[in-house]
Amino acid sequence: MTQLEDRGQVWPALDGLARDLSLEVLIRGPLPRRELAAKLGVSAATLTRTVAPLLESGVLIELEEPLAGGPGRPARLVDVPASTHRFVGVKLTGECLHGVLTDLRADIVASRTVDLDGLEPARVAAAIGRLVADLDAGQDATAVGISFGGVSHDGRTVARAPFLEWHDVALARLVEQATGLPVILENDLVALAGAEHWFGEGRTVPSFAVLTIGIGVGYGLVVHDRVVTHRDVGIGLVGHYPLDPQGPRCPNGHHGCAEAMLTTTGISSQVSVAHRRPVGYGEALELARGGDPVALEVVTAAGHALGRLIAAVANLAMPDRIFLSGEGIELARVAWGAVWEGVQRDRDPAASPVDVVVQPYDSDQWARGAAAIAIQHHVLGSAVTAGS
Amino acid sequence: MTQLEDRGQVWPALDGLARDLSLEVLIRGPLPRRELAAKLGVSAATLTRTVAPLLESGVLIELEEPLAGGPGRPARLVDVPASTHRFVGVKLTGECLHGVLTDLRADIVASRTVDLDGLEPARVAAAIGRLVADLDAGQDATAVGISFGGVSHDGRTVARAPFLEWHDVALARLVEQATGLPVILENDLVALAGAEHWFGEGRTVPSFAVLTIGIGVGYGLVVHDRVVTHRDVGIGLVGHYPLDPQGPRCPNGHHGCAEAMLTTTGISSQVSVAHRRPVGYGEALELARGGDPVALEVVTAAGHALGRLIAAVANLAMPDRIFLSGEGIELARVAWGAVWEGVQRDRDPAASPVDVVVQPYDSDQWARGAAAIAIQHHVLGSAVTAGS
DNA sequence: GCGAATACGTTTCATCATGCAAAGAACTGG
DNA sequence: CCAGTTCTTTGCATGATGAAACGTATTCGC
């Protein structure tokens, strides 16, 4: 146990090259020394000298299996001991907590969901405390990350969270008192983008956007290998985005904005109204798949709107790739034709095709994002937004 | 002359710290050593050691006037000898060449405009050669930058330039043969953003967007202190942007896209049609100012559309600031109320206000951007897109 | 005026990180 | 088993760096 704690202390203390090196290994997976030297722009000698004490202290390990190749001495792979670290990620919504226990590479080890019995900060903090204790039964977690649909400027205080009706709640402190672990807060989309950036498919491109559809519409952005954190990230930047002048109205009275067209509730309520009975989101998509005219119309319009949103992101943020995710993203698969048509419509024909990746949605993804933020914060010391 | 050439050779040869230091001085203006040391994160000792040879070789100079302050030895300001360098910037359009001669800080020393007598590459290159010779009468320019509405991937070849109907024209080589100077090409909006970034108001913010309206609608972006250069930068990313479903149609048949609503030709032709006589852009704005109902309607709709475009940029690219420029930007002043209304409409009320700066348009701005690219290329050796 | 006080800039010196080059190590293929 | 090849380590010289002491140019108080 003390050894684990010692190892926990090691990362933040790393200096320039040792830090960059460990980060590279963490993010780009096991690598031979030679390749690491090339990536970091240092000589092989320096690399050996830097790696040696890190192996000694346990920050890095050397894999048993050498990298088989042609002639010559086979390369030994340097890696992080990912599976000996534990981090907790918690996604906080207005109804429940979704938590995951992960290793150092944000691979999920365990997962739990619990309902909230009240939204007062103290109650929520206590519930998070119990969730963390439940997930981290071995008590060897290094840090806790919490993500939510709202704004935190410092990672310690919830500056704003509309669906919780919180303002300036020092949630990190409360949860630290409950768990005894370091806690870091972050907007849910920044967290998801962070996870994608370090531990997902976003590793391979220097810039990408994440669009999520579900109860809300979310947007996160990575440019020049760094997450874009604007003071407004996390409040509905894309929610009011106008997509279809003939579309349904949102609660604010806008016609055809992203909130009204794309959210699960927006779609299911449109279908429900037409069918004069409550139709859930899944059923609405099923009806559309089956050819139900009303559902098809609603879903096609939504797909079209999603496509135009994608085009807008591609045109204005110019990412190399756009990831689609969120609990309602099945829409993109059901209405892919309409999505692509929407993209084409608002995109210059001469422009290169937009690289859109629909991610298989998994209810752990949001919490994994929170864990990724905890990992980043632990590994980088403080600068969460810094890139690879 | 040889001394100038020597100095020209010095910049690219600078190594790490000397290069960062000189760049900081170039971009942030004259600075005392102490402040430079703090900004670069090195000790005062290292700073002195680094500056000394740069002063010796003439890359940097020390201002005569010390910085008056409180008690203590007054600081001496380190600066670049901006006025002893010359760069040429040329903006290439389908009708004419606009050229400026600048110093090392992109301050304009001279300016010329000439009409093109043909669009064949050889003719254009010859015309640019004459323009450069005319501007750079002292023959002491270091490099030439050329910007245009199109795409160049390598700074040497015009990959695409719709209004010139060029494909893969090795313009840089042609102009180098004509002038004997190093030549670099860049998209006009990347160039304008680059000028704003290094030598304009963009210096003070790590991210900003540039929106231009004129014959076309242009968009450039700087994030994390680096210009965003996407393979599609320069082709009409925002031109097809839908802004008003009831708006006029563009040549491609889109209703109310940015091209149709915001360009000078779009506005003047709408007013012309209504008045059944040709009305120029300036006159259209004057009519609107004077209360002419038709012009007012067109201009108000355009202002509203511009506001929505600004909101879209603010929402999706999340810049700290948005600069408005271009030969038609007077629109923003005439219809500022409508612009702001458009911004508000598509912006979450809880979001922070968008920081919009309308720049006084000056016909030299485009060419100055080209000069800025030449300066950046010269100073950085090759990586044009690298930031400060 | 004249000595504190103060802040900026330079030099000295010891340290440390780094690269080069040579040696060592671990494999493949004849 | 030896040559060939590639990865890794070690020895050595070099050069960059920071701490601290020193030097310098000003203001302030008397």
A232 at interface of B, judged by CB pairs closer than 8 A: yes
Residue with CA nearest C25 C1'? Answer: A73
pLDDT for the residue B66: 79
Whole-number distance in Å between B21 CA and D15 C1': 19
- Tell me what the mean pLDDT of segment B223-242 comes to: 84
Instruction: Name the closest nucleotide to A49, judged by C1' and CA.
Output: D9
In the structure, what pLDDT confidence band is assigned to residue B248 with cuts at 50, 70 and 90? confident
| Number of residues written out for chain A | 388
Same domain (yes/no): B76, B89: no
Tell which of B316, B322, B343, B345 to mutate to test the A interface (max A CBs under 10 Å).
B316
How many whole angstroms from its chain centre is CA B280? 26
pLDDT for the residue B382: 62
Same domain (yes/no): A207, A356: yes
pTM above 0.85, yes or no: yes
A316 touches strand C (CB under 7 A): no
Whole-number distance in Å between B21 CA and D18 C1': 18
Same domain (yes/no): B212, B346: yes
Same domain (yes/no): A346, A255: yes
Q: Is residue A153 in some structural domain?
A: yes
**B4: pLDDT strictly greater than 70:** no
Distant-in-sequence, close-in-space partners of B383: CB < 8 Å, separation ≥ 6: none
Specify the range with the lowest mean pLDDT, choosing from A62-66, B111-115, B238-242, B277-281.
Answer: B238-242
**B5: pLDDT strictly greater than 60:** no
Stretches where chain A sits below pLDDT 70 are: 1-10, 382-388
Whole-number distance in Å between A130 CA and C13 C1': 58
Same domain (yes/no): A25, A7: yes
Buried b (16+ CB within 10 A) or exposed e, A241-261: bbbbeebbebeeebbbbbbbb
Scanning B48-107 for CB atoms below 8 A from A yields: none
A352 at interface of B, judged by CB pairs closer than 8 A: yes
Same domain (yes/no): B208, B341: yes
pLDDT for the residue B166: 93
Q: In A, which residues are within 8 Å of B243 by CB distance?
A: none
Provide residues 2-31 of A with CB closer than 7 Å to any strand C atom.
Answer: 16-17
In the structure, what pLDDT confidence band is assigned to residue B281 with cuts at 50, 70 and 90? very high
B236 at interface of A, judged by CB pairs closer than 8 A: yes
Q: Is residue B60 in some structural domain?
A: yes
pLDDT for the residue B323: 98
CA B237 to chain A, closest CA, distance in angstroms equals 5
Q: Is residue B388 in some structural domain?
A: no
Same domain (yes/no): A145, A182: yes
Beta carbons of B352 and A231 less than 8 Å apart: yes
Residue with CA nearest D27 C1'? Answer: B71
Same domain (yes/no): A316, A372: no
Instruction: Name the closest nucleotide to B76, judged by C1' and CA.
Output: C8
Range of the domain at B42: 3-80
Q: In B, which residues are within 8 Å of A317 by CB distance?
A: 221, 316-317
A207 at interface of B, judged by CB pairs closer than 8 A: yes
pLDDT for the residue A8: 52
Q: Is residue B124 in some structural domain?
A: yes
**B387: pLDDT strictly greater than 60:** no
A38 at interface of B, judged by CB pairs closer than 8 A: no
Domain C-terminal end among A26, A49, A80? A80
pLDDT for the residue A237: 75
**B385: pLDDT strictly greater than 60:** no
**B3: pLDDT strictly greater than 60:** no
Count the domains in chain A: 3
% of chain B with per-residue pLDDT over 70: 95
**For helices B121-135 and B171-179, angle between their N-to-C axes, nearest 10 degrees:** 40
Mean pLDDT, chain B, integer: 90
Measured from the Cβ of residue B260, the count of other Cβ atoms closer than 10 Å reads 29
Instruction: Name the closest nucleotide to B70, judged by C1' and CA.
Output: D27
Distant-in-sequence, close-in-space partners of B249: CB < 8 Å, separation ≥ 6: B255, B260
For B284-337, the pLDDT digits (tens) are: 999 999 999 999 999 999 999 999 999 999 999 999 999 999 999 999 999 999
Q: Is residue B386 in some structural domain?
A: no
Spatial separation of the C-alpha atoms in residues A259 and A214, rounded to whole Å:
10
Spatial separation of the C-alpha atoms in residues A354 and B262, rounded to whole Å:
25
Q: Is residue A387 in some structural domain?
A: no
pLDDT for the residue A258: 83
For B134-147, the pLDDT digits (tens) are: 999 888 999 999 99
- Tell me what the mean pLDDT of segment B202-217 comes to: 94
Same domain (yes/no): A267, A295: yes
Same domain (yes/no): B17, B161: no
For B136-189, the pLDDT digits (tens) are: 988 899 999 999 999 999 999 999 998 899 999 999 999 999 999 999 999 999
Looking only at the bridges linking them, the beta strands covering B86-92 and B96-102 are antiparallel
Whole-number distance in Å between A45 CA and C20 C1': 10
Q: Closest by alpha carbon to B359, among B202, B232, B133?
A: B202
Same domain (yes/no): B106, B159: yes
CA A205 to chain B, closest CA, distance in angstroms equals 12
- The footprint of strand D (CB < 7 Å) covers A 32-34, 44-45, 47-49, 51-52, 69-76; B 16-17, 41-46, 49-50, 66, 68, 70-74
Same domain (yes/no): B356, B211: yes
Tokens of A362: 């998994």
Beta carbons of B348 and A240 less than 8 Å apart: yes
Q: Yes or no: say if B198 and B27 are a contact pair by the CB < 8 Å rule.
A: yes
Write the secondary structure of chain A as one string of H (helix), E (strand) and C (coil).
Answer: CHHHHHHHHHHHHCCHHHHHHHHHHHHHCCEEHHHHHHHHCCCHHHHHHHHHHHHHHCCCEECCCCECCCCCCCECEEECCHHHCEEEEEEECCCEEEEEEECCCCCEEEEEEEECCCCCHHHHHHHHHHHHHHHCCCCCEEEEEEEECCECCCCCCEEEEHHHCEEEECHHHHHHHHHCCCEEEEEHHHHHHHHHHHHCHHHHCCCEEEEEECCCEEEEEEECCEECCCCCECECCCCCCECCCCCCECCCCCECEHHHHHCHHHHHHHHHHHHCCCCCHHHHHHHHHHCCHHHHHHHHHHHHHHHHHHHHHHHHHCCCEEEEECCCCHHHHHCHHHHHHHHHHCCCCCCCCCCEEECCCCCCHHHHHHHHHHHHHHHHCCCCCCCC
Residue with CA nearest C26 C1'? Answer: A73
CATH number, domain of B90, equals 3.30.420.40
Q: Is residue A388 in some structural domain?
A: no
B243 at interface of A, judged by CB pairs closer than 8 A: no
Beta carbons of B223 and A223 less than 8 Å apart: yes
pLDDT for the residue B139: 85
Q: Is residue B356 in some structural domain?
A: yes
Q: In A, which residues are within 8 Å of B160 by CB distance?
A: 350
